[in-house]
Amino acid sequence: MADKNAILAGLAEIVEEETGLETEEVQLDKSFTEDLDIDSISMMTIVVNAEEKFDVKIPDEEVKNLTTVGDAVTYIANAAG
Amino acid sequence: MTATLKPTNPVDATAVLGLGVYRPSILVDNEQICQWIDSSDEWIRKRTGIVTRHRAPADVSVVDMAEAAATEALKDAGIAGSQVDSVIVSTVTHPYMTPSAASDLAARVGATPAAAFDISAACAGYCYGIAQADALVRSGHAKHVLVVGVEKLSDIIDNHERSISFLLGDGAGAVVVGPSDTPGIAASVIGSNGEKWNAVSMDNSLLRLRDALFDAQTSGDASALLDPEQKLWPTLRQDGQTVFRWAVWEMAKVAAEALEKAGVAAEDLAAFVPHQANIRIIDELSKQLKLPDHVLVGRDIVDAGNTSAASIPLALHRLRAENPDVSGGLALQIGFGAGLVYGAQVIRIP
């Protein structure tokens, strides 16, 4: 399984690039919408950039299940094997 | 002896000869939208780029709008209606399944007996129409083709629905395509992805309304017809996230293919005129294409909203009006929408 800390760090960089949020704010327990104020379109940009960065596929129907940063990190870690 | 068929008389190249538009008189701003959905002017501007959208009065039809745009396009091209031998109307809002909007329009602009037909390719309809017109003229089947993208989307929206209705506006754009000494329309890229048929679609078919009417008439019980929750009149819906991903990252590939087919690079463009779906799609698509700073980007959506098949010619018309020097330059145009379907080509701006 891929290193979750490395995935979190990489994901935080993607979120920072899309939203301007500091990487330290992107923590596992944070909700993308409630805590980080990321809307559905920004979320999709983050997903596509994460796919490229981690060489995984995140189907449209899975995106709706990624409520927290932790959900996304776990999904990417499992998908990356 | 078997008789041989007389060959057609193809021409080598085509061009867009003239451009015209129609913008309906009613302006709907975000404050009005917020009477129908729980939102704010700031939220709508930030998420979509839209400040206003035009909507047509009840007594202005799809063909009325098409006629106004076509009349300006013919004048801009210096072509009489009688010189037009094919009329193509791209629309999803002509409220008659048959006859076509195109045959009515052909008669109105004096193009009888031109070939006339409608295209149902939603927001890609205008680019599909250009591809058809280019093929008709190059093959020798037509000399001048009138292509119109026109929508009265206000007829098929639910103002209280928040996935797509608040984005949409009405309008029309038209061009005349004809023969040219040098190529003015490059090879088109057109295609579909029917696996995402439901990503943008009507919420129901008209048959549901017909059946409800029939049931009410036979039973004498009209309660279902009178229940607003039944939403019997079909209106548009979309899965915004699915559409956004497809519209940016898949359409960036289509746009790149259109450039390749034209034999030009992004730096050769004077303008990029994508379908006006959402300012964030336009901006992200522009970013993916790595457009140089000198390439003007159509952003008519700010004032016109998303007008489906009409959005590209409306945006091109505005871009040319605000930047007359762009005339003669190359524009990459790409339409994409319900189907899902897409079309793109590089043209020389008239």
What is the full per-residue pLDDT of chain B (350 aa) written as tens digits? 789 998 888 899 999 999 999 999 999 999 999 999 999 999 899 889 999 999 999 999 999 999 999 999 999 999 999 999 999 999 999 999 999 999 999 999 999 999 999 999 999 999 999 999 999 999 999 999 999 999 999 999 999 998 999 999 999 999 999 999 999 999 999 999 999 999 999 999 999 999 999 999 999 999 988 888 888 999 999 998 899 989 999 999 999 999 999 999 999 999 999 999 999 999 999 999 999 999 999 999 999 999 999 999 999 999 999 999 999 999 999 999 999 999 999 999 99
Q: ω into residue B113 within 30 of 0, thus cis?
A: yes
Q: How far apart are CA B306 and CA B82, in angstroms?
A: 32
- Cβ of residue B155 closer than 8 Å to a chain A Cβ: no
Compute the distance between CA of residue B144 and CA of residue B203 in angstroms, rounded to an integer.
38
User: Which residues 241-300 of B are in CB contact (within 8 Å) with A?
Assistant: 241-242, 244-245, 248-249, 278, 280, 284
- Give B335's Cβ-side CA count (13 Å radius): 31
Query: Could you give the count of Cα atoms lying within 13 Å of B31 in the half-sphere of its Cβ?
Result: 1
Tokens of B282: 């336009």
Q: Which amino acid is residue B110, in one-letter code?
A: G
pTM of the entire predicted model: 0.92
A40–B278 CB contact, under 8 Å: no
Its sign, for the CA torsion B213, B219, B225, B231, is negative
> Which residues of B carry out catalysis?
123, 275, 306
Enumerate the residues of chain B whose CB falls inside 8 A of the CB of residue A60. 239, 241-242, 245
Interchain CB distance below 8 Å, B284 and A39: no
User: Could you tell me the two tokens for B85?
Assistant: 């031998």
Which CA distances in Å does B227 have to B83, B126, B158, B168, B316?
A: 51, 37, 15, 25, 43
Residue ranges making up the domain that contains A21: 4-80
Q: How far is A41 from chain B (nearest CA, A)?
A: 6
Q: Is A66 within 8 Å of chain B by CB?
A: no
Q: Which of B330, B245, B320 is nearest to B288 (CA)?
A: B245
Q: Which residues are paired to A39 by β-bridges?
A: none
Q: Residue B248: its chain A contacts at CB < 8 A?
A: 45, 48
Domains of chain B: residue spans and CATH:
14-179 (3.40.47.10), 189-198+236-348 (3.40.47.10), 203-230 (no CATH)
In chain A, how many domains are there? 1
For the domain that residue A52 is a member of, what is the CATH number?
A: 1.10.1200.10
Alpha helices in B206-343 (DSSP H): 206-219, 223-226, 240-245, 251-262, 279-288, 301-304, 311-322
* A1 at interface of B, judged by CB pairs closer than 8 A: no
Cβ of residue A80 closer than 8 Å to a chain B Cβ: no
Q: How many residues are there in chain A?
A: 81
Q: Do A45 and B241 touch (CB under 8 A)?
A: no
Look at A41 and B280 and tell me if their CB atoms are within 8 Å. Answer: yes
Sequence-distant (6+) residues with CB within 8 A of B30 are B39, B40, B41, B44, B45, B50, B51, B52
Provide the shortest C-alpha distance from residue B228 to chain A (in Å). 29
Q: Which residue of B has its CA nearest to A45?
A: B245
Cβ contacts of B240 on chain A, cutoff 8 Å: 40-41
As a whole number of angstroms, the distance between CA B320 and CA B308 comes to: 20
Q: For this complex, say whether ipTM is above 0.90.
A: no
